[in-house]
Amino acid sequence: MSKTYKIAVINGDGIGAEIVPAGVAVLDAVAEKHGITIEKKMFPYGAGYYKAHGKFMADNALEELKGFDAIFFGAVGLPEIDDTLPARDYTFKVRTTFKQYVNYRPVKLFAGLESPLRAKKSEDIDFVVVRENNEGEFVQTGTTMYPDQAEGMAMDTSIFTRFGIERIAHYSFKLARKRKNRVTNVTKSNTLINSLAYWDKVIAEVAEQYPDVEYHKMYIDNASASFVLRPEVFDVILTTNLFGDILSDLGGAIMGSLGLGGSGNINPESEFPSMFEPIHGSAPDIAGQNIANPIGQIWSAAIMLEHLGEKEAAKDIVAGIEHATAQGNLTKDLGGTASTTDIANRVAEFIQTSKTVIA
C-alpha cells in the first residue's frame, strides 16, 4: 500500500530557487519508483519574504508547518538583509520550536571525486557530524550595552543542560551502533572549564551505557587538524552547536565542495516535523545562472526519506549521486561544466532505470 507524506517545500533565497526544484525532481523520481506519494506545498519564506513583509515567515507559519511530515528547505539570506536576522528569525526559530535537537551532517567522498586531501580515498572519508542543535553557544542569550561608547560591552551565554546533553549523546551512540561503533566527543573542556567540562561529564556517563561502542574525547583544535590529516579515525562525531557548525563546513571542504553537503535538523521522536537542507548558504552571487551544485540538496532529500523510514528510496538517491559523480557529471565548483538541472536529471534518470539498491 502506497505511503503518503506531506512535505513543506521552502526554496528560501538565492540559489534555493534552483537547487530545491532539482531536489524535488529527484524526490519525485524516487517516489514514483518506490510507490510513495509525496504531497508538496510551497512556502515563500526567507529573506525575500522579509523584504516584502518585514518578517521571515507568516505569523501562523510554524503552526501550519507543524502539520507536515517534513520540511525540505534550501537556504536563507540576501546581502541587503542584516545577516544576524536569518538565523534568529527563521533557522533557529524552526529548530527550537520543532525540537530539532539533532543536526545530522554526513561527510562522504563520492565516487569519481578527488578530495583536496590528495592521499585520502573514499574509505578514509566517511563519517557523520552530530551537532547539538538547540542549546550550547547559539541560544542567543546575552546582551549588548553601550555599544558605541568606550565602556561598551557585549555578552553571549552558552547554555548546556543535562537533559539536552543526554539526548544528543544517546542519539549519537545509537547511530554509531548502526555504523562503525565509534563515537568521538569533540570538546574544549580544558579551557571552557564549566560548560564543556559538564558536557564531557554527562557524555561520559552516557557512554558507560554503551560498552560495545568505542568512545573517545578529542579537543576541537586536534579534531580540526585530524579532519585534514587523518579523517579515517572518525565515525560519529558528537559535538556542540558552534563546533558542529564549523566542523561540518570543514567536512564539506574535504569532500571537495560545500555544495556536496546535505543535512537534517531532526526531531528523532517525530513529535514535530524535521527540516532538511544543504549545509551551504544562499550564494546570491551565482543565483539565476543554473550553475549551483544541487548535490547537497539532493542528499538532503535522501536523509529526509531515511528519517521517514523509506530507507531503500534513500539508498537509491545516494546511489544516483554516486553514479552522476563517477560519470564525471560535475558542476563548476568541482571543476566541471554540468548545470544544476543536468545533475538532477542524471540522478533522476539513474534512479528510474536502475534496480533498487539493497544493502
Please tell me the distance from the alpha carbon of residue 299 to that of residue 279, in angstroms, as a whole number. 11
Q: Would you call 314 helix, strand, or coil by DSSP? A: helix
Residue 356 has pLDDT above 70, yes or no: no
Per-residue pLDDT band for 2 (boundaries 50, 70, 90) equals confident
Q: Tell how strand 3-12 and strand 36-43 pair up.
A: parallel
List 157's β-bridge partners, or say none: 141
% residues pLDDT > 70 (the chain): 99
Task: Tell me the average pLDDT across 317-330.
Answer: 96
Separation of alpha carbons 309 and 295, rounded Å: 21
Among 300, 254, 262, 266, which Cα is nearest to 280's?
262
What pLDDT is stored for residue 1 in this prediction?
58
Report the pLDDT value the prediction gives residue 359, as an integer from 0 to 100.
Answer: 47
Task: Specify the pTM.
Answer: 0.94
Percent of the chain, pLDDT > 90?
A: 95
Q: How confident is the model at residue 355 (pLDDT cuts 50, 70, 90)?
A: confident
Bridge-based pairing state of the strands 3-12 and 136-145: unpaired
**C-alpha span between 276 and 278 (Å, rounded):** 7
Q: Which three cell numbers stand for residue 182?
A: 565509534
Cell of 50: 522579509
Distance separating alpha carbons of residues 302 and 324, to the nearest angstrom = 15
Q: What is the pLDDT of residues 166-205, one digit of tens each?
A: 999 999 999 999 999 999 999 999 999 999 999 999 999 9
Handedness of CA 178, 181, 184, 185 (dihedral sign): positive
Give the 3-state secondary structure of residue 157. strand
Give per-residue pLDDT as tens, 236-252.
Answer: 999 999 999 999 999 99
d(CA 40, CA 11): 12
The residues, any chain, with a CB within 8 Å of residue 289's CB and separated by 6 or more, are none
Contact 35, 43 (CB under 8 A): no
